[in-house]
Amino acid sequence: MNKIITGFLLLAVVTWAGCKKNSYDFKMFKPAVEDIDSIYLSATDKMMIADGQATLEFIVEAYRKVRLSGGKDSMIFVDYRLLPQGSLKMIEERSGKQTGMTYSTTTIPYDTVKFHAEIGKIRSATKSVALRPKPALPPKLYIDVVFHVWELNTTHLTYDVSSYQPVQLSQLKEAIRYMNEVINNKVGKSPNGAAANVEFRLATKNQLGQTMIQPGFNKLIYSDNVKVNPLATTFSPNDFIAYINANKSSLIWDPKQFLNIHVLPFGANNSMGTNYPAKQLAPGPGEQAILGMPTTAANDNDYTLDYANATCGFPRTVLFPGYERKIEAFRFVGMFYGLYTPLYNSARLYSDYCYDTRKFDGLDPRNSYSFATKVGVDNEKYIADNAMDDMRYPTLLSSITADQVARMRAVMLKCPGRMNAKTQ
């Protein structure tokens, strides 16, 4: 038996030694500066406000040329962060200074700044960015908001006490708080971000002038009574729209005094059935008409009092974001005040009527990733951070631009049915 065991151990040692002798020491490819053959640079915008907050965040990609087995050359992506520290240099050409991976300024020494990236002897194409002065802060405006929150009756057959979550006043307060932070440029550093100087606030009194028990919170209990077809097995947005229109005297508070937000029990992927502003008052001396609204209103009462034209439709799920997510309400409110999603739309001039927003095509497969980096319609990459960006795609939703501020405020002051801004 001992001879058998000894023989087995000897065989194992010989086998192990043979494996060690024939093994291959694999090493991961580690790029060197001289491997880089091409550099792509995006300045992430074409223009920037010179206020010290607006920031360009450069996107740099390095590539090396590789000969494939078929005899063709291919450019292979190289993570420049694997190169020795300091290999990548970002240069502002007018001053000749290195900038690092971000750039901001409070002065306008040139009308345009120009950048390129260098790694060794290889440099990218030059990218130009126009500088804009910081816009003057417009006069303060206040908007009184009432959330008409539709809650399912606890006696309804589909009500599940173990899963149903009623909306709380704290959620509405948080929605308003964060919306104000975004539109007043408190959280972002977008190259063209600007402050609207608008404060949305929960209404303290109802349309009869009575003090509300919970500011801005008008709870509405619904059941099968709202259904257009009482025999339908599910609820649809049209059920609520028809019911609101049939009871608009109580469910649409005076649009000259309030922003009516109807919180409907649906997800953000549903159309809320509300319209963009249709009419505007005639421009006064020295004023310009608001783009995209060809109809002139006779006076500030020239609007349709119904759900589609005098309310903001709001998906209930927005008030219940995922873990550590913000309640991002502005996109729907922005639509009410005439802002479009800056998503490429060939049927609409400039897509959203704002020249300083970056636009991407949602049908482009390069924009279906799980990152906020998008490929714009000009084929340049940028960081999508606009609060009106399409929620179907990952974006930062952290700011609005100077042109969006001007458009939104113009609608508040010139479009009947949306003219609910107050000066105090």
Out of 98, 132, 166, a domain closes at 132
Start-to-end CA distance of the chain, whole Å, equals: 100
pLDDT at 9: 45
pLDDT at 39: 98
Quick check: is 226 in a domain? yes
pLDDT at 14: 44
**What is the DSSP code (8-state) at residue 151?**
E
Answer yes or no: are the C-beta atoms of 105 and 52 closer than 8 Å: yes
Whether residue 120 is found in the same domain as residue 185: no
Answer yes or no: are the C-beta atoms of 289 and 280 closer than 8 Å: yes
Whether residue 101 is found in the same domain as residue 181: no
pLDDT at 22: 56
Q: Is the pLDDT of residue 413 over 80?
A: yes
The type of residue at 79 is D
Q: How confident is the model at residue 8 (pLDDT cuts 50, 70, 90)?
A: very low
pLDDT at 7: 46
Q: How confident is the model at residue 6 (pLDDT cuts 50, 70, 90)?
A: very low
Q: Is the pLDDT of residue 175 over 50?
A: yes
Pull the structure tokens for residue 2: 């001992």
Range of the domain at 85: 33-132
Answer yes or no: are the C-beta atoms of 352 and 340 closer than 8 Å: yes
Quick check: is 417 in a domain? yes
Q: How confident is the model at residue 27 (pLDDT cuts 50, 70, 90)?
A: low
Number of structural domains (the chain) is 2
Quick check: is 21 in a domain? no
Q: How far is CA 196 from the centre of its chain?
A: 17
CA gap 277, 28 in Å, rounded: 58
pLDDT at 346: 80
pTM passes above 0.75: yes
Whether residue 87 is found in the same domain as residue 199: no
CA gap 260, 216 in Å, rounded: 10
Q: How confident is the model at residue 69 (pLDDT cuts 50, 70, 90)?
A: confident
- Residue 194 sits in a domain whose CATH number is 3.40.390.10
Which residue(s) pair with 217 in the sheet? 147
Mean pLDDT value across residues 262-282: 93
Out of 77, 105, 132, a domain closes at 132
Whether residue 153 is found in the same domain as residue 226: yes
Whether residue 180 is found in the same domain as residue 282: yes
Quick check: is 10 in a domain? no
Give the number of other CB atoms < 10 A from CB of residue 357.
24
Whether residue 123 is found in the same domain as residue 222: no
Answer yes or no: are the C-beta atoms of 143 and 92 closer than 8 Å: no
Mean pLDDT value across residues 406-416: 97
CA gap 183, 194 in Å, rounded: 8
Whether residue 269 is found in the same domain as residue 413: yes
Pull the structure tokens for residue 63: 């590539």
Quick check: is 9 in a domain? no
Quick check: is 5 in a domain? no
Whether residue 365 is found in the same domain as residue 315: yes
